[in-house]
Amino acid sequence: MLTVFLFLPAAGALMVALLPRERSHEAKWVALAFSALAFLTSIAVFLRFDRDAVGYQFVDRFEWIRAGTAGFSIQYVVGVDGLSAALVLLLGLLTVVSVLISWNIEARTKEYFAYLLLLETAVAGVFVSLDLIQFFLFWELELVPMYLLISIWGSGRKEYSAMKFLLYTLAGSAFMLVGFLMLGFAAGTFDIAALTAQPPTEALVPLSLIFWAIMLAFLVKLPVFPVHTWLPDAHTDAPTAVSVMLAGVLLKMGGYGILRIALPILPNEARDFRVALAALAAVSVIYGAIVTLQQKDLKRLIAYSSVSHMGYVLLGVSAMGALGLSGAALQMFTHGAITGLLFVMVGLVYDRTHTREISEMSGLIHRMPLIGTVMLVAGLASLGLPGMAGFVAELTTFLGTLEAHPAATIAGIFGVVLSAGYILWMVERVFHGPPTERWAGLTDATAWWERTAMAALVLVILAVGIYPALLTETIAAGVAPIAQIVGAA
Amino acid sequence: MLLPAIPEAAVWAIYLAPIASFVAITAWVRRSALWSGQLTIFAIALAWALSLWALDTSIGLDGEPSDFAPHLWFSLFDLHVELGIRLDGLSAVMIFVVTSVSLVVQIYSTGYMHGDGGYARYFAFMSLFTAAMLGLVMSSSLLQLFVHWELVGLTSYLLVGFWFHRPSAAAAAKKAFIVTRFGDFAFLVALVMIWVKTGTFDIGELNELAHGLSPAVLAGFTLGLLSGAAGKSAQFPLHFWLPDAMEGPTPVSSLIHSATMVAAGVYLLARFFPAIEAAPSEVSTTIAYIGAFTAIFAASMGVVMTDIKRVLAYSTISQLGYMVMAIGLGGYVAAVFHLFTHAFFKSLLFQGSGSVNHATHTFDMRRMGGLRTVMPITFWTFVIGSLSLAGVVPLAGFWSKDEILLDAWKHNRLLFGVGVATAGLTALYMFRAIFLTFFGEYRGGEPPEHGHSGPPHESPSSMWAPLVILSVPALTFGFWAFADFGGFVEGAIDPSLRHFEGVKTESVVLVASLAAAFGGIGLAAAIYYYGTPAADLLRSRFRPLHALVARKYFVDEVAEGAVVRYALHRGGGRLLSLFDTYLVDGVVNGVGRGMRRLGDGLRRVETGQLQAYTSLYFLGLVIAVLALLVFGSDLLER
């Protein structure tokens, strides 16, 4: 089933690409159909996931490259635990939303939707791969469609931003590959489950170096201070759907990598550096929030808020306990839905105003009550209002980290105050105030695809916020073994 | 006890009824707006009826907590978050206050908000607020309380900014939310910490466990609660959002910013009164002094405000200070009793100011005057509310204020003096407001936003009827003190802390409080009715002092100007932003440029000329040989 989920979008991409030129307007329907099928598959995975069972589920495996003389082999192996099951669901949902929100794309539609679907396969590959080399391949594959999507369909300094994104990630993943190879040669296998069960005790270079080599790639992706500056540029210049994917699922590759690879395979090293990680997290949260307060561009503002919010993921990780790790995992899911929705809304605003300068907007809610209301809902979720998804994740993180890192946790809680500041100030400037002449002609979100995209995400945010048990049990099933490994000192 | 014990489902229904009306209005009813008001009233009337049942049951239990078992919300490893109802003397009184005031306010709102474009939205938010407030007071766990604590903050934000097309309203809404959230920061830290230390959120358990905790932990926890309470209940130095919150529609001020939400801070402190008592005594002292200072500080500003609603806002801050002081002095019963009576008469006063506004289209008392004759019902009910607030015997406010002063007299004479002085100022500013608004000549009001302005007239029955209804509790609810109110609310706390012995007073306290009340009224009459000494004369005589108070002691300037604008925004924030763009990102771009230069440089080396390659080869060879000669053959053996 996972293999189906993994390659269904790629098949869709192929089919979109093969559409004859005169039928290129059907590309979006094909893309919608394939992403919807993939979404249904991800729902099935999530629902049929057995939360009481131990180990990976829905495993497909075959030998891919056998290198008998070298003593190792590279295999194709996919499977999910509670952690990846949740992220797979998020990916399925956000891809459908991304396709919907791209309904108006006019230029080179075939290529656009093909790349979007290819992106889903690449990210899915990261979430379900259980072999380091395979993980790495999908990790790199994701760059191709992203680079093209930003540099062709983006705006502003799109080539610069796309190149920056590409180089930043490549620089990180070069270290990651070295780290993976060292681990693999030391242990004689690239199988993640095997490595987790029996982590190598020594390698060519000190394990702590390998840990940081791998972490570098993940921290860039997350991103945390000071390796975050690619994110605002990439977001600002990317088309809406790409921002949704970027904030919603691509950043989660970083957090996922930490939880799946860095922590369980190098638990002692992770524990050794927990204070450093907590410090990085606290700085990211506060620094990100303060810089967010300064932003004059609506999309940049949301982008910087991601730096702050992803800091909570690292904070949860840094405590190396079950609750903190659960908080981190929950935060990945909820941030994906919430920030995804925020970018959807920013996109809808931009489609109408053709500007992202906050100072040029005022009183937009008078013309766009629905967009304004949903933006407020997304904003409130982002600032951690109880009853919405973000609160559960942040609370769990704080409960799990206070004992291990009191100062960093208190800094994290202060970040919640700052987030209220930047969100409400943004809402005040953009949506409140008297209606103005300039924006008198704007229309609200009336198209079915706009409304469906908004409704789906609002529903998820409220559902998880009101009844967190929908998600917590699955997450707990995924986190428990990881916590057992890193928690046992 | 008249009725059988209330089942748990019926208590949940108190909470769910307004939620249902919120959902119904949002989903369907908004298309036919008028129904939204009726639906809200119906839902809250249902909640009110059930609250009487809950009160009856709780009285039957002497205020001891009922034994409703909590329900699991979600769990993760050691974390088991439960939702449940805690029905005891304290929460039963609060549920009754919230449903009663809310019901009256909704009726009043159908008149006040009549014809407003956002009529359905208004009632949707009001329903949501009522539900959140009810959830806050009936929660059995601290986390559940916190969830609703934030939700009332949200609805306050939505309702203060209800007329968001006004920049002042939008700014006030944001300010209210952020300032209270600032207080909530320490509250949340306290909440997280206490769970880490005890592994539970259950309010009853936490109060019981308090004695076993280390003094530092307990002090941190209770001070965190105080911080949250100071934000919500507008205590110094987080008080300055409340006057601005008057930008909201007046019924909103009447419900949220006088009777219920702002009292939530006092409720929180009362709820954790056993923990506060167990904490080091410095905590109680801090609470008492913050309350006392807030009481007199805010009262002084009430004297100089020209906007009738702002007078009431400062009065609310001041009275909340009274309650907080009472908690700090160990006067749990007195604080809750004053919260209870204050809710009714302050709500009445706000609605009175709304009625006046309905007639004159202004809140500026300098443009009112002489309304006594044209608005007799508003006038008389306003006088009743003011007398109650001023603490004139035998109105409700007298009894509750007297209990606080009695506690102060017993424990701290300085704070007793502050309390009496505040009582005098309270009488002064209320009767100043009455004389300016209802006596003398009518000074013209302001033209309405729409339509033409006629002479002022009494408000419609949907507005004056609530005033009449609320005068009854303002007059009489103090007498509950004689029917063992104290014993009832003490049922909620540990038996060892119960020391209420029925209504008592000391003659000193009685004389001082009545002297302050009548002194204040007399002074107001002298200045604002007889004009000797004239207000203008006093103002010019004490110009610097007047300016200081009228500018609200420059707290807003310090908080917004210095802290927010300069430290966070212009100064520190701008600096960090530049740091981000030029240094953090600059390094990145620099590395990029450096790499390109390096590439350029290396390209120049690869010239394709054999001579160049050969000379480089020999250069390398020479270096290698030299290295061998210098470091010896060890280098090779390694």
ipTM value: 0.89
Residue B580 has its nearest CB partner, among A164, A229, A380, at A229
Beta-ladder partners of B75 = B80
Percent of chain B with pLDDT over 70: 94
Percent of chain B with pLDDT over 90: 40
Place of tokens 């298309």: B31
A220 vs A411: CA distance, rounded Å: 22
Q: Which two tokens stand for residue A199?
A: 């982590």
Average pLDDT over residues B165-184: 88
Residue A476 has its nearest CB partner, among B76, B154, B184, at B76
pLDDT (0 to 100) of residue B451: 60
Q: Are A40 and A21 a contacting pair, CB within 8 Å?
A: no
A41 vs B36: CA distance, rounded Å: 42
Q: Which two tokens stand for residue A385?
A: 């209002």
> Is a pLDDT exceeding 80 seen at residue B406?
yes
Q: Which one is predicted more confidently, B600 or B562?
A: B600
Tens-place pLDDT, residues B243-281: 888 988 999 999 999 889 999 999 999 999 999 999 999
Positive/negative CA dihedral, A298, A300, A301, A302: positive
Exposed (0-12), middle (13-18) or buried (19+): which is A400, by Cβ within 10 Å?
A: buried
Contact across the interface for A167 and B592, Cβ inside 8 Å: yes
Contact across the interface for A291 and B574, Cβ inside 8 Å: no
> Is a pLDDT exceeding 60 seen at residue B635?
no
Q: Are A272 and A129 a contacting pair, CB within 8 Å?
A: no
Q: Which one is predicted more confidently, A23 or B250?
A: B250
Chain-centroid distance of CA A158 in Å reads 21
Phi, psi of B141 (to 5 degrees): -125, 150
pLDDT band at B604 (very low <50, low <70, confident <90, very high): low
- Under 8 Å CB-to-CB from B187, ≥6 apart: which residues? B146, B149, B224, B225, B227, B228, B231
Q: Which two tokens stand for residue B621?
A: 């060879």
pLDDT band at A37 (very low <50, low <70, confident <90, very high): very high
pTM of the model: 0.89
Q: Which one is predicted more confidently, B607 or A27?
A: A27
pLDDT band at B606 (very low <50, low <70, confident <90, very high): low
Q: Which of B70, B45, B244, B228 shows the shortest CA–CA distance to B153?
A: B228
Q: Are B491 and B64 a contacting pair, CB within 8 Å?
A: yes
B35 vs B42: CA distance, rounded Å: 10
Q: Which two tokens stand for residue B113?
A: 């908000």
pLDDT (0 to 100) of residue B62: 86
pLDDT (0 to 100) of residue B35: 86
Average pLDDT over residues B39-49: 94
Exposed (0-12), middle (13-18) or buried (19+): which is A26, by Cβ within 10 Å?
A: middle
Phi, psi of A81 (to 5 degrees): -115, -170
Task: Report the amino acid identity of residue B198.
Answer: T
Q: Closest approach of chain B CAs to the CA of A488, in angstroms? A: 16
Tens-place pLDDT, residues A331-341: 999 999 999 99
Beta-ladder partners of B85 = B139
Q: Closest approach of chain A CAs to the CA of B19, in angstroms? A: 13
> Is a pLDDT exceeding 80 seen at residue B85?
yes
B208 vs B274: CA distance, rounded Å: 8
> Is a pLDDT exceeding 60 seen at residue B636?
no
B100 Rama class: left (phi>0) / alpha (psi -120 to 50) / beta: alpha
A31 vs A95: CA distance, rounded Å: 10
> Is a pLDDT exceeding 90 seen at residue B336?
yes
pLDDT band at A187 (very low <50, low <70, confident <90, very high): confident
Q: Closest approach of chain B CAs to the CA of A469, in angstroms? A: 5
Phi, psi of B146 (to 5 degrees): -65, -40
Residue A31 CB neighbours (<10 A): 29
Q: Which residues from B are below 8 Å from A402, CB to CB?
A: 192-193, 196
- DSSP symbol at B66: P
Q: Which two tokens stand for residue B303?
A: 């004297």
Tens-place pLDDT, residues A273-332: 999 999 999 999 998 888 888 888 889 999 999 999 999 999 999 999 899 999 999 999
Residue A229 has its nearest CB partner, among B146, B192, B585, at B585
Q: Is A239 helix (H, G, I), strand (E, B) or coil?
A: coil
> Is a pLDDT exceeding 80 seen at residue B361?
yes
| Helices assigned H by DSSP within A188-250 | 192-197, 207-221, 230-237, 240-245
**Lowest-pLDDT range, A52-66, A449-463, B387-401, B467-481?**
A52-66
Q: Closest approach of chain A CAs to the CA of B619, in angstroms? A: 32
Mutate to test the interface with B, among A159, A284, A290 (most CBs of B within 10 A): A290
Average pLDDT over residues B42-63: 92
The half-sphere exposure of A224 on its side-chain side, counting CA atoms within 13 A, is 24
Q: Which one is predicted more confidently, B636 or A469?
A: A469
| DSSP-derived pairing of the beta strands A57-67 and A72-80 | antiparallel
The CA R_g of chain B, rounded to the nearest whole Å, is: 31
B117 vs B348: CA distance, rounded Å: 26
Task: Give chain B's length.
Answer: 638
Task: Report the amino acid identity of residue B132.
Answer: A
Q: Are B349 and B390 a contacting pair, CB within 8 Å?
A: no
A489 vs A268: CA distance, rounded Å: 8
Instruction: Give me the numbers of helices (H) and strands (E) for chain B, helices first please.
Output: 29, 2
Average pLDDT over residues A42-47: 92
Q: Which one is predicted more confidently, B201 or B547?
A: B201
pLDDT band at A489 (very low <50, low <70, confident <90, very high): very low
- Under 8 Å CB-to-CB from B344, ≥6 apart: which residues? B97, B100, B101, B259, B396, B470, B473, B474, B477
Q: Which of A345, A342, A341, A316 shows the shortest CA–CA distance to A331?
A: A316
Q: Are A57 and A81 a contacting pair, CB within 8 Å?
A: yes
Angle at A12 between CA A10 and CA A16, to 5 degrees: 120
Tens-place pLDDT, residues B180-198: 988 999 999 999 999 999 9
Q: Which of B559, B515, B2 shows the shortest CA–CA distance to B239?
A: B559
Q: Are A154 and A265 a contacting pair, CB within 8 Å?
A: no
Pick the residue from chain B with its C-alpha nearest to A388.
B147
Average pLDDT, chain B: 86
Q: Is A131 helix (H, G, I), strand (E, B) or coil?
A: strand
Beta-ladder partners of A66 = A73
Contact across the interface for B192 and A398, Cβ inside 8 Å: yes
pLDDT band at B100 (very low <50, low <70, confident <90, very high): very high
Q: Which two tokens stand for residue A460?
A: 């998820």
Task: Report the amino acid identity of residue B185.
Answer: F
Straight-line distance from the first to the last Cα atom of chain A, in angstroms, rounded to the nearest whole number: 37
Tens-place pLDDT, residues A373-403: 899 999 999 998 898 998 999 999 999 999 8
Q: Which one is predicted more confidently, A454 or B444?
A: A454
- DSSP symbol at A297: B
> Is a pLDDT exceeding 90 seen at residue A188?
no
A154 vs B68: CA distance, rounded Å: 58
pLDDT (0 to 100) of residue A67: 66
A264 Rama class: left (phi>0) / alpha (psi -120 to 50) / beta: alpha
pLDDT (0 to 100) of residue B305: 86
Average pLDDT over residues A104-114: 85
Q: Is A357 helix (H, G, I), strand (E, B) or coil?
A: strand
Q: Are B406 and B509 a contacting pair, CB within 8 Å?
A: yes
Q: Which two tokens stand for residue B367?
A: 């443009």
Percent of chain A with pLDDT over 90: 45
pLDDT (0 to 100) of residue A313: 94
Q: Which residues from A are below 8 Å from B188, CB to CB?
A: 398, 413, 416
Straight-line distance from the first to the last Cα atom of chain B, in angstroms, rounded to the nearest whole number: 95
Q: Which one is predicted more confidently, A464 or B602?
A: A464
Among A358-362, B168-172, B321-325, which range has the highest average pLDDT?
B321-325
Q: Are A346 and A242 a contacting pair, CB within 8 Å?
A: no
Q: Which two tokens stand for residue A471?
A: 């998600």
pLDDT band at B638 (very low <50, low <70, confident <90, very high): very low
Q: Closest approach of chain B CAs to the CA of A345, in angstroms? A: 20
Contact across the interface for A230 and B161, Cβ inside 8 Å: no
| Helices assigned H by DSSP within B264-411 | 264-271, 273-278, 281-304, 308-328, 332-360, 371-374, 376-390, 396-411
- DSSP symbol at B564: I
Average pLDDT over residues B518-535: 84
Q: Which residues from B are below 8 Å from A395, CB to CB?
A: 143, 192
Tens-place pLDDT, residues B112-154: 888 888 888 899 999 999 999 999 999 999 999 999 999 999 9
Pick the residue from chain A with its C-alpha nearest to B571.
A294
Exposed (0-12), middle (13-18) or buried (19+): which is A76, by Cβ within 10 Å?
A: middle
Q: Is B116 helix (H, G, I), strand (E, B) or coil?
A: coil
Contact across the interface for B73 and A468, Cβ inside 8 Å: yes
pLDDT (0 to 100) of residue B449: 67
Q: Which residues from A are below 8 Å from B560, CB to CB?
A: none
